[in-house]
Amino acid sequence: MKAIVYTKYGGTEVLQAREMEKPVPKDDEVLIRVHAVSINDWDFGLLQGDFVNRILNGLRKPKRQILGSDIAGRIEAAGKNVSNFKTGDEVYGDLSGRWGGFAEYVCAKENALELKPATMSFVEAAAIPQAAMLAVQGLIDIGGIKGGQKLLINGAGGGVGTFGVQIAKLYGAEVTGVDSSSKLSMMRAIGFDHVIDYRKEDFTKNGRQYDLILDAKTNRSIFSYTNALSPGGIYVTVGGDLSRLLQALLLGPLISRISKKQIHIVNLKPNKDLKYMNEIFEAAKVKPVIDGPFGLDEFQKAFELFGRGEHKGKVVIVMRA
């Protein structure tokens, strides 16, 4: 099978397209013929081999050499202990922890998958799992979003932000998005009420405050974020700069006690809300924003676009038409 492989840490230049041995499912696994897969921040962190990801995947070189977690495809074979899926089922899900998605075939356990609605394309399905789960769990489970609230999404033009605004609109929130100027037109088109070019305006210093902030970047001091929160407001981060995340983790409880403004970090529960996403997708209440899709022979271009942070929504690579 064809796969996108890396044998050493580095930039996009270390990625290679190679022929690899087709995996064989265990008794509790299914074999998926992958049609599409999207790129996540975690993929890029594993590729570059920062300190945390080297601990997870090998200090000197990567133990798992095929990245990719958000996959969509068709089940080609099912182990004898598999009960929820059968050969031919169209599925999608987040394979975080085992990876292997940037390949024509991958094995997965049942709890990492959900049936794909017939009206949802493989490309759309591959865009959903991780970004949508972060948006749902950040806004609903932790943020407790309500109608009439003022919500700000930082890093709003990526996967989490483009799902987040659509979900927030279902609750009647007024949504402001922060990102680069090249993404603002797209952001307005999918429902943002207000947009801010972060290069021209710092939302933590303009005097406006928000009931809820969903942060996909976490590139400022936690004290700057609290300045932008209304009294009793909630700040939720889904990822970003490690030093800033540690600051939120360590100082968040103290800030919450002193100021009554809550600081939270999403502890992602993979695939938990895929059924909910199926429901609102089929009701035409949410639609993934796709950059591309890119063909397998364009994987380098896709990763470079993601690495520059210039992508709109999710970057999707089609492994097989």
Region 187-197: mean pLDDT is: 98
The three-class DSSP label of residue 78 is strand
Q: Which two tokens stand for residue 245?
A: 């995340």
Which helix (H) or strand (E) covers residue 308, if one does? helix 299-308
DSSP label of 141? I
pLDDT above 90 (res 90): yes
- pLDDT confidence of 251, banded at 50, 70, 90? confident
| Rounded average pLDDT over 271-283 | 98
Give the model's pLDDT for residue 321: 61
More confident residue, 57 or 36: 36
| Confidence tier at 286 by pLDDT (50, 70, 90) | very high
Q: How confident is the model at residue 246 (pLDDT cuts 50, 70, 90)?
A: confident
CA distance 197 to 220: 16
133/130 Cα distance (integer angstroms): 5
| pLDDT score at 243 | 81
pLDDT bracket for residue 248 (50, 70, 90): confident
* pLDDT beyond 90 at 244: no
In Å, what is the CA distance from 226 to each residue of 176, 232, 245, 264? 16, 10, 14, 12
pLDDT value, residue 50? 85
- The rounded distance, in Å, linking the Cα atoms of 302 and 129 is 19
Residue 197 pairs with which residues in a beta bridge?
179
**Can you give the pLDDT at residue 118?**
97
Question: What was the pLDDT predicted at 70?
Answer: 98
Element (H, E) at 105: strand 105-109
CA 216 to chain centre: 9
Q: Which domains does the chain have, with CATH numbers?
A: 2-128+288-318 (3.90.180.10), 130-265 (3.90.180.10)
What is the residue-wise DSSP string for 223-291?
A: HHHHHTEEEEEEEEE----HHHHHHHHHHHHHHHHHHS-EEEE----TTTTHHHHHHHHHTTS----EE
Residue 201's pLDDT band (cuts 50, 70, 90): very high
14 DSSP assignment: G
Instruction: Specify the pLDDT at position 230.
Output: 96
Give 100's contacts (C-beta < 8 A, 6+ positions apart): 23, 64, 66, 68, 106, 107
Cβ atoms of residues 321 and 166 within 8 Å: no
**All residues at 6 or more sequence positions from 271 whose CB lies less than 8 Å from its CB, including other chains:** 93, 94, 111, 112, 113, 114, 129, 133
User: What's the pLDDT score for residue 250?
Assistant: 86
CB burial class (10 A; 0-12, 13-18, 19+) of residue 4?
A: buried
> Within 13 Å and on the Cβ side, how many CA atoms surround 207?
0
Q: Which residues pair with 37 in a beta bridge?
A: 71, 317
pLDDT of residue 99: 95
Average pLDDT, the chain: 95
CA angle 108, 137, 207 (to 5 degrees): 140
Q: Is the pLDDT of residue 240 over 90?
A: no
Residue with the larger pLDDT of the pair 170 and 239: 170
Q: What is the pTM of this model?
A: 0.95
Convert the pLDDT of each residue in 118-166 to its tens digit. 999 999 999 999 999 999 999 999 999 999 999 999 999 999 999 999 9
CA angle (150, 264, 255) in 5-degree steps: 90
Mean pLDDT, range 32-42, rounded to an integer: 97
- The pLDDT value given to residue 231: 94
Q: What is the structure's pLDDT at 239?
A: 87
pLDDT of 96 strictly over 80: yes
pLDDT of residue 256: 82
Residue 187 CA to residue 27 CA, distance in Å, equals 45
pLDDT, average across residues 97-103: 95
Distance between CA 176 and CA 90 in Å, rounded?
Answer: 36
Please, which pLDDT band fits residue 320 given cuts at 50, 70 and 90? confident
Encoded tokens for 177: 């998005």
Weakest mean pLDDT among 110-124, 188-202, 239-253:
239-253
Q: Which residues pair with 236 in a beta bridge?
A: 214, 264
